[in-house]
Structure formats: structure tokens, C-alpha cells
Chain A
């Protein structure tokens, strides 16, 4: 019920601050709306099931989460209060409400020498988590044998999963002149407190180990392994940070940053024994060193409390008007503060991650319009966590673990600003080297037998250009080419080309104003530096990736009373990758590796067409309408994988959004409005996603 807190700022805004409008020093823009909504849902949009269509837009009313056909909404209040006394102080208050589950508040109080900012928000999203797994029509697979043949839903019939987040912050910025310290090095102090509350629930799915379930070996036991349950989420993060700006002399600036962050998970630990109590699934005890090391005490999806310390120093110095030198050093220390029952029982209390970062860069003005920049960055991450003696050991490690990672990034670039077409050319070269300290558990596994490697070396050359060829036109062409001498994992490309083109054109003389902004982007990358071998076959571990997107927006103001927007967006992700099967979980000297000769091809396209129009025939009446069409189609795989998935290997859906609205101004401050909207989502592959909503809403709007 935390969101009830939002009534407090709303009441303060309405009853305390709005009367300030009577004072000439204040500028108050506010608008409130009393809204009634009638919903008509398609039959498959039942109140017992969460729905894809309301993933980002909640259709909940004030009185709980029971989806009713009508609800009223008084929370839609937008308020903006500004107080400004000619550069002496400024007060800025804002409340913006989209609906009951999506609200934001902010305030600023600026005295010149000091400034206080605050923010408080609330947002709820619904998550469609159950349908893809529990719906037997959703996807093929599972078969009639093994643990995949039965999914056990321990959440009961609960399917309304949601998450909500309440972020908050308070920021105080002070200049030393306010404290009477204007003659020292100190230039500015910044104190910030921020954090969030996050609660809700998720559908957590998992598979128990073969040895976790008790009973005679066979299908009945295996079918108890694949499960899911409703897991509560209740998290809180609080962070305090400070920043000091120091200016030893006019050409030097030093920034010091410090932060402390505490994250706490307020939900209690869920163990296998808890699941057993809910579902009755028999568990093995698996006792190893006493009762506390019982299998039943294993935690499910344990999220620990953590503390994080952060510190950084940045410096910048100008040498004459030609040379600028900058550098920084930052470090963070993440420390786990709570542990599972099993870890507590073994008195285990050390799990930490240390990050370090340093960079150095120079900028030199070679000519009036030519800058030369040199950049170097070093980053290091160390996982100093230890294994829990006697409980969880390194022997269980089934995939590489990165104990340490070093990253060195070097680059140089030139920036040339030409009077020719008022253009900017930025061209340069970058080199990135990564070294990983990998823990494989089994030392006998050779590097060639894993798809993770220790070293990466990538080169990149780029040319970015920006033109202003004439008034109201800007054009951008960005190109880059990457080539690697060594890559550490498949998603790092050996070669990659990238091109980005965009244009912005605005002409206020075409009717009342025309704005056009087309763009096109393409990225083509290839990976193939993993010659995986086994006693039975050699394999080329390859990946080809072609991502493209294009679109344009045209906005036309035909007259003062009519405007029109049309936009189109097209996106095509085409990834051609591997499908390999082995007889073992890890690649070692005895593993058989079989590959799909056709490889697996993911190719999904998306198109979005949107158009809207607004017309005000007279000062009192306005009409507007919009239509959005979204089409998605393609295949998520090909070859053997696609053959097994059948129809579920495809993506094919279409969405429509139609809105029509009319508003009538009763007086200068009051208006009535009515809106109709139709949202439809039709999924040809997964029918459970399909549905539609008709909504009619009426609102009384008052500006005060």
C-alpha cells in the first residue's frame, strides 16, 4: 500500500501550494482531471490472468487490483509551481501523474549559492510470467520421459504477477560562498541521498537436481523436478553520496566523489523445505556434516544484502589554451552482508568484488579547427569470494568463472571542424585488450575445448561526421570498422562494420512548419576464432550478425489548427549461429561434438507505423485521433532446432492501437473531454497472448 503515500504530496500541492497562485511572485500551472473509465475486455482477458497488453500500462483503479469494467481515477493531477524573484531564488514544484500507478513528483529550491532538489516517483509494471511455461499449447518439447515431461506449478492459480518501484532522491548543492569560504580551493559541495523501494512478485522457475528428490528412481520421481513458485520481492536500496569540486588555481579542477550504498532484501529465505511444505514433494536429506548441511536447507534464488563503497578522484588542467589534460581513478568495493542458512552454519562470511578504474586523456589544439585527443583507460575487476569449505566447493564448478579481468583501452582521435558545410569530422583508432583469469575447475580442460578464452584484442577505426549544410538541416554519418586479433567469447566479433545515417530537416516556411527526420543503421559482425575440436569431429564455432533498422518521422503543422505526424520504423535482426550437441556437459578430451550442418538462423523483423492528427475547428473544440500498427514476423531458429520447435519457432503477431479524443472548453479554465481507445494484440503462434481492450473514458479537466 506504499503508493498511498502519493496522496500526501497531492494534498499538499492542492491545498497548500496552489493558493500561492494568488501571490504574484509565483507562477502556477496546474491541471487536474477527474476521470471515469469503462473497459470492455475480450473473453481471454480474464481477471484471473495477467495480460501482455497491460505490461507497461496498468488498468487498475483506486480500489485494489480486481479488474473491474469501470473505475474512477482522481490521481491524474499535473502541477507545476515556479517562484522566481529575479535571480534571487527559485522554487519549482512538479507533480505529474499518468495514471494511478505511474506518478512522479519533483521539487527544486534554488537560492543561487545553494540548491535543493528532490524527486519521488512510482511505477508499476505487470509481468506475464506464467503463460509461456504452464500453457501446454505454448511450445513443443518436454516429451513423455524425463523431468521435462511435467511442469509443477506451486504458485496455485495465481497469475497476476507485478513489480513496482518507488525511487526517491534528495540532492543538496552548496557553493562555499554561502559558507563564507569563497577564497579557498573548495568550489562546490554536493550531498545526495537516493534510493528505491521495489516490491512485487516473480514466477521463479527451476529444476531440482536428480538427487534432490526422494523416492524410487523412475518417471514419477523425475517428473517432480521441474517446478515454479511465486517468489515475493521486497527490496530497498539507500545510497549516500558526496562530491567536492576543488579549484587549486584557475586552470585546474579536481573532483572528489564518495558514495556508500546499502541494498537489502527484506524477504525471508526460501528453502527446498519450504517448497516441500507447499507441494509435498519428497526431498532427500543429503546430510553431509550435520543437520544444518541438509539438502532441505538449500536456498532458492537467494538475493543477499550488500554494501558498496565507492570512491573517485578526477582532475583536469589546462596548459595554455592549447593543451588539456584529464585523468581519474575510481574504485568500488562490493561486500555481501547476508548469507544463506547453509553458509551461516559453516560460518562463511566473505564474498567480495573489487573494481578499479583509471583513465588519462589529453586534448591538444593542433590548429585553430583541429584537435588531437589521446585516451587511455585501465579497468580491473577481482572476485575475491571464497568457496564454502565442506558445503560448496570449487569441484562443483561447471562453467568457467572469471576470477579476475583486466581491460586496457587505448585510443587516439582527431576532431576537425570545417567551415565547409559547417561540418565536424571525428576520426580515430582504438585498441582494446582484455585478459581474464578463468577458473575452469578441471585443469585438464584445454583452452581449445571451451568457448571462453582468456584474451581479447580488438582494433577499431572510425569516422564520425556531422554536417549543417544549410539552415535547419543537420546530417550525421557515423562509420566504424572493428577487427580483432583474438576474441574471448563468441559474441565478440572478429570483424564488424557499422554505419549510422541520420538527417534532421525543419522548415518553418512550409505551411506552418515541416519536420522530417529519416535514419538508417546497419551493423554487420562476424565471429569465427573458436576452432573447437573433439576426438570425433572438428567444428567451426561461428556467428554472423546483421542488424538493420530504418525509419522516418514527418511532422507537419498545416495550419495553426491542424497538425499531423507520421512515423515509420523498421528493424531486422538476423543472427546466424551454431547449434552443437555433445555427449557431456563440458568439452573435454572425451566429449563428442555434433553440429547442425545448417546452423541456426534467428531472423525477426519488426515494423511500426504510427500516424496522428490534431484539429481545432474553433477555440472551444478540439479533435484528435491516432493509429499505430505494429507487425512482427520471423523465425527464432532454423535447421534442427526449428524442426523440433515446429510452429513455435516462428514469431508472427500484429498489434493495433486506435485512439480518438474530443475536448470541449467550457470556460478558460475548465473543459470536458471524451476518449475512445481500442488496443488489440493478435499472436498467431501463442494464442494465450492475444486479446483486445475497448476503453471509453470521460474526464472533467480543471486548470487552477
Chain B
């Protein structure tokens, strides 16, 4: 009952907030964000250049930073001519903002190396802009935007940024069994390339897991077939309520595909469906089949 009250309360809160946001949006003239997807929209029609001094009269913070993106007249390299903007400071729209192509136009080395698959990446297809994650106005080497979630004080700052959008993963990471990302032992980008295409990044899903878990990659003489196919059949890498990242608890996890062979598992009277199942199997199948990922010397994956 307590759960239901909380669920209903949260759903109501979400509805109310959504309505509030909708109302605030209707009174707001939508801004044209298509610049994020177009080539080199970095100029404003009719605007002339005013130089960095014109910008730093108001944007004082830029003057004092040792910024790689800040050099002589560099503001207007990305933001276009600023004369209309300077002349009418209320008209923020009269200044340009660089799209992804502008960034990639200069960062050519990156485009050819670690941004090789950016054009088909999940983030690009989802319409993300470089500046959703990066802030070019920061120090070199510290371009990543900062998400200050104080509850994640141990986490790597890159993971913290990912989780600011991927809230469902943050929820998963709070489950009792999880990869220690919140604890900072590894980061989201150990497994995911935010600039990459997951379809072409690896030979198969398991190869990604075996980059760190070589001890279970084999080769095994006696394999467990699902291990060959896909680790995520049994494990959810982000987090589960069950130990060892198992998607559902044993023995149910195993009994989905395996029957309980009566004469081999301390069960009695299994020739019909009426006898009780006082079996050792309920202390976890892997308590006996400990070599569940594969074995060299036992065909039943026991050791």
C-alpha cells in the first residue's frame, strides 16, 4: 500500500510538472535550434565584426581566462559578426551559435580518429549537439561540462555528466548489485563510446565484457551456450536487485531454459507433478555448477 501511494504521488507530480512546463512553453516563443544540425551557420545576416573587445565589454569573464578558444577576435569565429547583438543587447537571437559541423571543421584530427563513427552514432542520430556535453569556454583539457550532483561525490566526472541525462541508468546503479560506477572504480566510457556507433564498435557484445573479464572468456572445452551468445542474457551490467548482476534470481533464471532433472538433483518422486521439490537446487544452481561460464574438466560445468 505504501508503495502504491508513493507511485501514485510521483505520477501525479510528474503530470503536474509536465503541465506546468507545457504552460510555460506556450508563453515562450520557441527558439530555432536547427542551427545545431546545419553546416556552418556561424554568421548573422547584416552583422559586422566588432572584435573581442566589443564582446568582453559585457562578457567580462572571457577576458580573464586562459582559454584556447579565446584569442584575437576569436569570439566571432564561432558566433559570427556581433554588431547587431552589441547594438541591441536584448536581442540575443542576433548572435550566432556554432553547430556540430563548425566544431568538427576545426577538430579535424578528432573527426578522423575517435570521432570516426560520429555520423552514425547514437548521440548524433538522437540530435545531440557537441555543446550538450562540452563547454568550449572552459580550460583546455577541462572542456567537459560539469554536473554537480552532490550525491555522486565518488563518481568520475564524465560518468556524472552521462547520468544527468540517463536517469534510468542512475536508478539501476542504485540497485544492490551494480558495476561500481557510482563508486568511481570505472566510468561509463569504459564500455560506451559517446561519439561511437555501438553497432560497429565491437566484434560482439561479449568482446566488450571480455576486455576486463578475461578470466571467463575461455576458451572452454565445455561451454555454456548462452555465454557464447550474449552475456546480457543472464546479466544486466548496470544493476539488478539480484547478486552478481543476474537479471532474475536463481533458480528461476536457470529454470527458464533448463528442466529439473529429477534423478540428478536430490529431488524425489519427480515422475509426476505432485511430489515436493525439496532440492538442493534452491540454494542456487551455481552452488554446485560453479563453473557456469565454462569448464575444462567437467561436462556438467560443476568445476
Contact = CB atoms under 8 A, between A and B. Distances in A.
Contacts of B183: 56-57, 98, 102, 123
A181 to B, nearest CB: 14
Given A133-B283, A204-B290, A451 B257 contact: yes
A577 B256 contact: yes
A188 B112 contact: yes
A399 B225 contact: yes
Given A90-B141, A298-B297, A571-B171, A190 B241 contact: no
A597 B270 CA distance: 15
When A and B form their complex, which 8 residue pairs have the shortest distance between CB atoms, in order from nearest? A148-B280, A424-B127, A569-B171, A422-B33, A123-B185, A148-B266, A146-B266, A207-B288
A241 B258 CA distance: 41
A38 interface: no
A452 B183 CA distance: 39
B30 A422 contact: yes
Nearest to A476: B126
Contacts of B116: 253, 255, 314, 316
A228 B291 CA distance: 12
A696 interface: no
Interface stretch (A6-14, A41-49, A64-72, A630-638): A630-638
A417 B297 contact: no
A380 B50 CA distance: 59
29 contacts: A84-B139, A102-B183, A125-B185, A133-B284, A143-B278, A187-B109, A205-B288, A205-B290, A208-B302, A253-B116, A332-B203, A352-B219, A357-B204, A392-B297, A417-B127, A424-B125, A469-B25, A470-B30, A491-B226, A505-B21, A518-B14, A549-B168, A565-B151, A575-B248, A602-B252, A608-B171, A630-B174, A641-B255, A644-B277
Contacts of A190: 113
Given A357-B203, A600-B252, 4 more contacts: A139-B283, A141-B280, A387-B221, A577-B255
Given A209-B298, A255-B113, A581 B282 contact: no
Interface in A312-370: 314, 316, 324, 326, 328, 330-332, 334, 336, 340, 342-343, 351-353, 355-357, 359, 361, 363, 369
B247 interface: yes
Interface string B68-110: 1001000000000000000000000000000000000000010
| Residue of B168, B170, B203, B296 with most chain A CB atoms under a 10 A cut-off | B296
Interface string A109-131: 01000000000010101001000
Interface string A391-411: 010001111111001010100
Nearest to B297: A298
B: interface residue count bin = 35 or more
Given A355-B203, A470-B25, A640-B277, A491 B256 contact: yes
Contacts of B286: 205
Contact of A141 (B112, B168, B221, B281): B281
| Residue of A204, A476, A571 with most chain B CB atoms under a 10 A cut-off | A571
Contacts of B28: 470-471
Contacts of B256: 490-491, 543, 575, 577-578
Contacts of B296: 299, 302, 304, 340, 343, 392
Contact of B282 (A141, A470, A582): A141
Contacts of B299: 392, 396-398
A277 interface: no
A417 B185 contact: no
B125 A426 contact: yes
A400 B273 contact: no
Contacts of B283: 132-133, 138-139, 141-142, 148, 151
Interface string B135-167: 000011110000001110010100000001101
A552 B215 contact: no
A333 B68 CA distance: 43
Nearest to A352: B219
Nearest to A250: B108
A74 interface: no
Nearest to B18: A503
| Residue of A265, A331, A373, A489 with most chain B CB atoms under a 10 A cut-off | A489
Contact of B185 (A102, A328, A422): A102
B119 A568 contact: no
